[in-house]
């Protein structure tokens, strides 16, 4: 590689990028994406499995620095293609790409326990399922693992830009402790979002402990109220996400089995430190509001 580097540098004076290290990366790129027929079939199979485009339309359009990150940090072919497509579609910077890889986003995407397959039509059910993760990683919250629901809720609103990044593309923040009046009584939704691709409201309820079956009943009530009081005639059915510290998959499946409203249950994890890469790459924002919503709850 040293000799090749010298020859190319001499042949193209003033052109950068021919260091021995970069030459090794170029060779690795060539080896990672061979163009023989068997490799093409493998790429097409991976693309079809995740409903993605074939690799040249993603990998070939990414900046070289992004491809270097993918080569060095993602060894699985299918996972690398998924990250490449996502980085291109959502415009991830290098730091955001690194953060998403290190948080194992590929493994977490679409892993929530939901009832979407029986409550939403195709292809909306597949898109909604892929929208949810398990677990959600709230690495930007400087809270202890024993934090209360209200502390977590407050922290998520204070860091709403980072929270939206973790939720994924398409979420728009509506409000915290959103008031609903039903039968002359006051009720409050923890967090309310709108998803621009799914064209529906998304209700998020936070639970500091383990999932309990009664949480599904409460969410069912919230979704019915949102559909009647807030939903526009052109909107799709609202979706609920119950975020718990932990959950038993079988218990969740039983709790959601006969629920007619679309909802899913995911875990969340708290960590103490904000990754340096994420901190540098995200824009700063002022407080969304000095005070959001009331202090009441069900």
Q: Are strands 263-270 and 239-246 parallel, antiparallel or unpaired?
A: parallel
pTM over 0.85, yes/no: no
Would you say residue 262 has pLDDT above 50?
yes
Would you say residue 9 has pLDDT above 60?
yes
284: CB partners within 8 A, 6+ apart: none
Quick: pLDDT tens for 248-257.
999 999 999 9
Beta-carbon count within 10 A of 261 CB = 21
Q: Are strands 200-210 and 185-195 parallel, antiparallel or unpaired?
A: antiparallel
Report how far residue 68's alpha carbon sits from residue 278's, in angstroms, rounded to the nearest whole number. Answer: 19
Would you say residue 145 has pLDDT above 90?
no
**Could you give the C-alpha distances from 212 to 146, 219, 260, in angstroms and in order?**
18, 12, 18
What sign for the dihedral angle of Cα 31, 33, 38, 42?
Answer: positive
Quick: pLDDT tens for 94-139.
998 998 999 899 999 999 999 999 999 988 999 899 999 999 998 8
**Can you say how many angstroms the Cα of residue 247 is from the centroid of all Cα atoms in its chain?**
19
Quick: pLDDT tens for 152-211.
999 898 898 889 989 998 999 999 999 999 999 999 999 999 999 999 999 999 999 999
Report how far residue 83's alpha carbon sits from residue 11's, in angstroms, rounded to the nearest whole number. Answer: 35
Mean of the per-residue pLDDT values of the chain: 82
Would you say residue 218 has pLDDT above 90?
yes
CATH number of this structure's domain 115-281 = 3.40.1350.10
Q: Where are the domains of the chain?
A: 33-108, 115-281
pLDDT score at 38:
62
| 2 or 104, higher pLDDT | 104
pLDDT grade, residue 12 (50/70/90)?
confident
Tokens of residue 91, six digits: 């415009």
């Amino acid at each position: 590689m040293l000799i090749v580097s010298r020859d190319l540098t001499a042949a193209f004076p003033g052109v950068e990028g021919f260091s021995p290290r970069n030459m090794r990366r170029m060779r690795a790129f060539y080896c990672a994406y061979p163009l023989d027929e068997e490799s093409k079939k493998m790429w097409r199979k991976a693309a079809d499995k995740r409903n993605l485009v074939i690799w040249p339309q993603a990998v070939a359009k990414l900046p070289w620095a992004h491809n270097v990150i993918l080569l060095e940090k993602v060894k699985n072919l299918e996972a690398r293609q998924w990250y490449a497509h996502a980085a291109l579609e959502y415009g991830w910077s290098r730091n955001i790409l690194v953060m998403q890889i290190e948080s194992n986003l590929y493994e977490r995407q679409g892993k929530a326990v939901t009832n979407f397959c029986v409550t939403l039509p195709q292809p909306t059910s597949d898109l909604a399922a892929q929208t949810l993760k398990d677990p959600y990683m709230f690495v930007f919250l400087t809270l202890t693992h024993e934090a209360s629901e209200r502390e977590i809720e407050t922290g998520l609103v204070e860091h709403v830009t980072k929270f939206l990044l973790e939720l994924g593309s398409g979420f728009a923040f509506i409000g915290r402790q959103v008031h609903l009046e039903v039968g002359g009584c006051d009720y409050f939704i923890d967090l309310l979002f709108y998803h621009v691709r799914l064209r529906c409201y998304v209700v998020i309820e936070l639970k500091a402990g383990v999932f309990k079956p009664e949480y599904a009943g409460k969410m069912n009530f919230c979704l019915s109220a949102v559909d009647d009081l807030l939903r526009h005639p052109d909107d799709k059915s609202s979706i609920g996400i119950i975020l718990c510290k932990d959950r038993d998959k079988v218990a969740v499946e039983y709790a959601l089995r006969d629920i007619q409203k679309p909802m899913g249950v995911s875990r969340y994890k708290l960590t103490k430190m904000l990754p340096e890469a994420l901190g540098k790459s995200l824009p700063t924002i002022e407080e969304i509001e000095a005070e959001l919503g009331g202090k009441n709850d069900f």
